Amino acid sequence: MVDGDGGVLRRSMRGRDPGEEHRSATPLELLFDLTFVVAVAQAAAGLHHELAEGHLGSGLLGYVAVFFAIWWAWMNFTWFASAYDTDDALYRVLTLVQMGGVLVLAAGVEEALTDYDFALVTVGYVVMRAAMIGQWLRAAAEHPAGRSATLRYAAGIALVQAGWVGRLWLPDDLAMIGFAVLVAAELAVPLWAEARGRMTGWHPRHIAERYGLFTIIVLGEVILATLTGMRAVASEHGFSAPVVLIAVGGLLLVFALWWLYFGGPLRELPSLRVALMWGYGHYVVFGSVAAIGAGLEAALDVTEHHAHVSVRAVALAVALPVALFLLALVPLQRLAGAGATVHNVLFAAAAAAVVALGFAAPATGLGGAVLGMGLAVAAVVALCVTADHRAARSVPDPA
């Protein structure tokens, strides 16, 4: 049924064609991503605050937990949409419910990171996941060929959500154990749901585009965090040399990491196991990029003595996420059939270099260390481009 002014009121959820031509992100998916920008920004801001206060361990633990909720809800919607997006009225309303849930989650990030109070985060997360249960149940009703898997998805998600609600009543000494168990359960649901029958028909190019767009969004958060930190510092003391060096180094990091991530096309994800490994690996990519922004903002605080953390610690707060990003690219590109052995070696070398620069920050100065990190990763970009160019020239012309 179609409404001439409001679009499609109802379209059967029969499953999208995995070979559909010109499949790209929809305006609804882009709007959905924007709500997650808020949640990512809140998580990064909370981590920045904990870093600046010297609460490195507790801040990182809270950040890892909150970012899992953000990433997993986004990832589940993305893969479902790739297989079953109808873009009709009911689909849009359930997506709106998920968007509301992520905003509730974002509102609870500060309490989660500072006081380990995950009540509001849990409420927002469960709202998002409940909407996904509705989507899977609709797919089960309207797509008989995929009913076995879709019903398993709905049942598995519902069971785990009951666990998340029950976790709120666990004593503090069992809360993190409960968290780890429930994370494992969430990750296991897709494997269990697709254990029998055919694999859900997601669209490879659409998935690659969606992950690429979210990577760009998170990289944009790094730029925003750096700008926020620069404005805060400049409003009091102006732009000092360390501030400028950190800003330049941060911009180099953003550009170089973007270049490396998009350095090879997504060729194929031939099995469920490979697809899940590739998708799950992006938790490290997204989480580490957002953490870079928090580290850069904390580094700017340190330059003006506004933070209760050492120069080495805050330099490592930038270096370690950069290293994690680089090391995560190695298996991800191999899984996707992209990249080359020389790239893997260069990524590993760059990861070691940026960590070494983090440790050397007391000697080089914080600005010098961050600039050095940016230059090291930019050098890897140049070397990868050169290696790819030489490899392309060595391939005989079929003509």
Distance CA 91, CA 99 (A): 12
**Domain co-membership, 188 together with 208:** no
Report residue 144 as tokens.
Answer: 């008989």
Q: Give me the number of domains the chain comprises.
A: 2
The whole-number pLDDT of residue 17 equals 62
Residue 13 lies in a domain: no
Last residue of a domain, one of 193, 224, 250: 193
**Domain co-membership, 251 together with 364:** yes
**Torsion of Cα atoms, 385 then 388 then 389 then 393, to 10°:** 180
Question: Are residues 120 and 107 in contact, defined by beta-carbon separation less than 8 angstroms?
Answer: yes
Residue 18 lies in a domain: no
**Domain co-membership, 85 together with 174:** yes
Distance CA 113, CA 254 (A): 25
pLDDT at 184 over 90: yes
Question: Backbone phi, then psi, for 202, in 5-degree steps?
Answer: -75, 160
Residue 125 lies in a domain: yes
**Domain co-membership, 68 together with 168:** yes
**Domain co-membership, 156 together with 215:** no
- 382-391 tens-digit pLDDT: 998 888 777 7
What crossing angle do the helices spanning 366-394 and 341-359 adopt, rounded to 10°? 170
**Domain co-membership, 254 together with 173:** no
- 139-162 tens-digit pLDDT: 999 988 888 889 999 999 999 999
Residue 6 lies in a domain: no
Last residue of a domain, one of 172, 193, 214: 193
Residue 3 lies in a domain: no
Residue 74 lies in a domain: yes
CA angle (231, 233, 239) in 5-degree steps = 90
Last residue of a domain, one of 159, 193, 227: 193
Q: Classify residue 394 as exposed, middle or buried by CB count within 10 Å of its CB (0-12, 13-18, 19+).
A: exposed
Residue 2 lies in a domain: no
pLDDT at 348 over 60: yes
Q: What is the mean pLDDT of residues 191-215?
A: 79
Distance CA 80, CA 201 (A): 9
Give the number of other Cβ atoms within 10 Å of residue 10's Cβ. Answer: 13
Q: Which of 305, 275, 132, 255 is nearest to 201 (CA)?
A: 275
Question: Backbone phi, then psi, for 16, in 5-degree steps?
Answer: -80, 155
Q: What is the mean pLDDT of residues 209-214?
A: 88
CA angle (22, 28, 33) in 5-degree steps = 100
pLDDT tier at 32, thresholds 50, 70, 90: very high
**Domain co-membership, 165 together with 246:** no
- 87-113 tens-digit pLDDT: 889 999 999 999 999 999 999 998 888
**Domain co-membership, 249 together with 181:** no
Distance CA 82, CA 19 (A): 11
- 283-297 tens-digit pLDDT: 999 999 999 999 998
Could you tell me the pTM of the whole model? 0.88
- 351-368 tens-digit pLDDT: 999 999 999 999 999 999
pLDDT tier at 5, thresholds 50, 70, 90: very low
Residue 16 lies in a domain: no
**Domain co-membership, 180 together with 297:** no
Domain range for 65: 25-193
**Domain co-membership, 186 together with 273:** no
Query: Would you say the C-alpha torsion 158, 163, 169, 175 has a positive or negative sign?
Result: negative
**Domain co-membership, 67 together with 126:** yes
The whole-number pLDDT of residue 224 equals 85
**Domain co-membership, 140 together with 85:** yes
Q: Which of 316, 330, 338, 216 is nearest to 281 (CA)?
A: 330
